[in-house]
Each structure stands twice: as structure tokens, then as C-alpha cells.
Structure 1
Amino acid sequence: MSIPNIISIFRILLIPLFIYTFVTGTGDGRIIYPIIIFIISGISDVLDGYIARTYHMETKLGAVLDPLADKLMLITALICFAVYDYIPYWIVILVALKELFMIGGGIIAYQRGIVNRANAWGKMATFLFHISIVMFLVSKTLAFLLLIVSIVISFSALFTYVRLTLEKKKKMDGPA
């Protein structure tokens, strides 16, 4: 197994630790320790991507594990923040539905031979989601506003993926 894939698995294994520290934390500790874990996950995400690209260690397994680790950590964080009233549940539902649509669409596209790499909108949304979660340490209001911006940008990424997929499908189908 490649080093980037091991790092992705490590990121997935951080999720139960995130939940545990969130649920058992009190006062400021309720979010400080989970956010530190979230930051570690984010840094290791950058690290595994860097290693995979730099040392040509990109694998099909990594193409699944990396975004899966991202999505699971993000949804986990959002659920924890909603359960403890830091954010409303509609944010979790909206993001989860978007991610499920992306996963389902990605599987269907892949089955038809269409692969879309992460685009700038998707990377920006992921970065802003990470910043918004970390901002809960500073300001709940600012964190919430950044979270809304992240959601808007993530839907822009979704629409871009759909457009690219449809363009690739049209090219594959040839002239009508």
C-alpha cells in the first residue's frame, strides 16, 4: 500500500477520535481538541496529495480514499456542530445531499468511462470548509458566514462537474 493511501486511511481513523473528543469535551475543550484533530486531518490531506503527485504514487484506491476521507470528516464535523447547536441541521442536510449526489454522479460517470479530477471550485470549497470549522475557535458568527460561502462555492463546483461530465459524454457519444 502506498504512503498516500496509508495517510488517507489515517485520516479516516481520525474521525472516531474527532467524535470522541467532541462528545466528551466540556466548555472550550468541546471544540478545541476536535478542531485540532480536524486541522491534523487537513494537513495530512495536503501531505498525501503532495506525496502522491510528486512521487507519482497516485492510485485508483487513493482516488477513492482521499475524497472519501475528506467527505467523511467534513460531514462528521458538521453533524457534531449541529448536534451541539453550533450550526443548524439544514446545513448538514444540504451538504450531505450535495455530497451524495456527487458520489452517485461520480460512480455513474466512472462506469461510463468519464473521470473528473478535482477542480478549482472544489478545492476552494474544501479549503473554505476547513477554515470555517477552524474559525469556530474565534467567532461563531464569522465561522457560520464562511460556512455559507463554502456551501455556495461547493455547489458551484457541483455545477461545474455536471457541466464537464455532460460535455465529456457528448464528445463520447459523437455527433447526433
Structure 2
Amino acid sequence: MGPACFILDALVTGAQLPRHLANIRSPYNEMANAPIVITALQPDPRSMRLQHHYHAQFLVTPTLTLGARFNYAIAKLKTEWVIIALQTKSLAPDTWAGLTPKLEAYFFDAMQVGLTPPALPARLLQRFLTSAQAHPPYIVIRRSWLEKLGGFDPELDDDAINDFLHRLNACPTRWHPLNPRKNHANDNILS
């Protein structure tokens, strides 16, 4: 079982898919050799070029919703950690610096990658209005914890990510942030 793999969905990443792939395969990324699986509803003319250039695997599943596509990709991979793109926004390759030792530490179940915490006024406004927080560009989650949660809801398409993050926050997930601005600073484990 390998340490980690990346899962990207063509509809979630949109036109930024090549940028995501380039940043993942960058020599500045310590996770550059991790497997990449790209889920899609239909074959894309650029998919063969991207597949060969970035050594990625495409899973074309025209009848599956987003939640089912993520679950299908996760089931196909045999890694201890799953790194899933949740937004169009791609991250710089140096964002992943220091990730490998953190994955080996076993102190947390999931990690939010690239989510900069909002300023105090924004946090207070969110709490007052009980609005949902923005979700991170990527999430790193332990496969065993993902299986305990039941994975993504296979019935959901557009709301699959929000539902999954809500369930992660509702249970006692041991979170660890990995922020691009301060990825070498001492991050605190959130519970």
C-alpha cells in the first residue's frame, strides 16, 4: 500500500486541470511521484495528452454522480492517504513541503490544504450568520477514516463536497491545517 495518491475530478478542477497536474508533478513538490487519478463524465480530447505527459490515470464514468466518481476512484487505489482536489484553485508546488513526515506521524485523520483562515471580522460574521465556511482547495484524508465516514454520498452531485465536509466536521475528526503561507510554521492540531 503506497503512502498517498491524488484524486482530481475534471468538473471540479475545470479549465485549471492542467495547472493542478503541473503543480503536482513539479520537481519542487515532494509528492511529485504519487499516483494521480482523474475522474470525468466523458472523454476529453486533451485527456490522452494529459495522461501521457503527467502520468495520470483517467476514469471515465458517464453515469456516476460526483460523489460516486470520488468513491469509485478511491476504491480503485490502494493507498493509506487520499489527497482530493475540492476547488478549481490550484496550489503552488511548495505548498506540499513537509507533507510526507506529517503523513507518517499518525496524529490526525484529515488535513485541510491551502485554506487561509479568514480574518477575525469575517469569522465573527460567519458565526453570527451561521454561514458555512469555505472549503479548502485540497483535503488530505486517511483512507481508514474515510471508510468509517462512508465516503462521499453517491447520490449527490453538486453538493457531494459540502455534504462530505459537513460530516467530517460533525464527527470527532482530528484536523491539521497545511497553509501555503506558513507551511513551515508550527501548525496546531485542531479537534
Q: Give the TM-score taking structure 2 as reference length.
A: 0.31
Higher helix share: 1
Higher strand share goes to which structure? 2
Question: Which TM-score applies when normalising by structure 1?
Answer: 0.33
Higher relative contact order (CA 8 A, sep 6+): 2
Larger Rg: 1
